[in-house]
Amino acid sequence: MLAELTANSVADSLARRELKPLEAVEAEALARPSALDALEALAPAKHVKVIAEIKRSSPSRGPLADIADPAALARRYELGGASAVSVLTEGRRFGGSLEDLAAVRQAVSIPVLRKDFIATPYQVFEARAAGADLVLLIVAALDEPTLAELFGLVGELGMTALIETHSAEELDRAAALGARLIGVNARNLSTFELDRELFGSLADRFPAGTVRVAESAVTGVADVERYRAAGADVVLVGEALVTGGDPIANLSSFLAV
Ligand SMILES: O=P(O)(O)OC[C@@H](O)[C@@H](O)c1c[nH]c2ccccc12
């Protein structure tokens, strides 16, 4: 189901854009200055860290925010103390683009995550060419050889993979891969259902030394506290930051946890 969704989304986004040849994108990716060290930026610390997301809309929630200037919002996130910025680059359902990512990259000096349904090496090169430091790989959407191939390529390009999981079995697959940055998404991307307890139920399963990311379902500081108490090093927050008024004030309350 999710694999199909990913394939459709990839085909759709590739069909809608004028595509440069792979060699050109690869050359652009390799010509970039080195990616920022996201593992260092997100390393466990005394307080929880936040990856703040630029998110215009989502299939489950519809339009969320009219973000005319993603770079300006990213600057607010950085000022507010976010450790990284996530930019949704999927166009049809999330209203994002690689242009958003490139604009954000120029505006901030913290690591930037390409959040999309990545299923091909081409998209990984594109991410680096646009300036991404991190790339999301969703275990449920990828077969084993593809996941391993993309994970390897992300590393070769000097970027960090955020491996997204939604079950014990997927978390074990992420661990077997040697992932250092692993997320548990509270949202099931096939049914859109939220399971707020999932991160807590899987927290003990993260291999020692990995950075634990709790993704989705933060509506306020109480959710950040709950994730932190369950063992999260990092929370990834979208909707609450794009809809909740001043992101700087919201971030400062989250970062006090
Ligand atoms: O808006 P929220 O509930 O704070 O969620 C953010 C982020 O976790 C969510 O956008 C997300 C997590 N994994 C994804 C994969 C694809 C698209 C989106 C996502």
| Confidence (pTM) | 0.95
Please name each of the domains of the chain with its CATH number. 2-255 (3.20.20.70)
pLDDT, tens only, 195-238 = 999 999 999 999 999 999 999 999 999 999 999 999 999 999 99
Which token pair is 9?
């989304």
The amino acid present at 161, given as its one-letter code, is: A
Structure token digits, residue 253: 């309350």
Cα–Cα distances in angstroms (integers) from residue 201 to residues 115, 134, 175, 206, 227, in the given order: 24, 26, 16, 11, 11
Q: What is the DSSP string of 108-177?
A: -SS-EEEES---SHHHHHHHHHHT-SEEEEEGGGS-HHHHHHHHHHHHHTT-EEEEEESSHHHHHHHHHH
HSE toward the beta carbon, residue 72, CA cutoff 13 A: 5
Is the ipTM of this structure higher than 0.90? yes
Q: Which atom of ligand 1 is found nearest the CA of 241?
A: 4
Q: Is 223 in the pocket of ligand 1 (CB under 6 A)?
A: no
User: Is 149 annotated in the active site?
Assistant: no
pLDDT per residue as tens digits for the range 87-125:
999 999 999 999 999 999 999 999 999 999 999 999 999
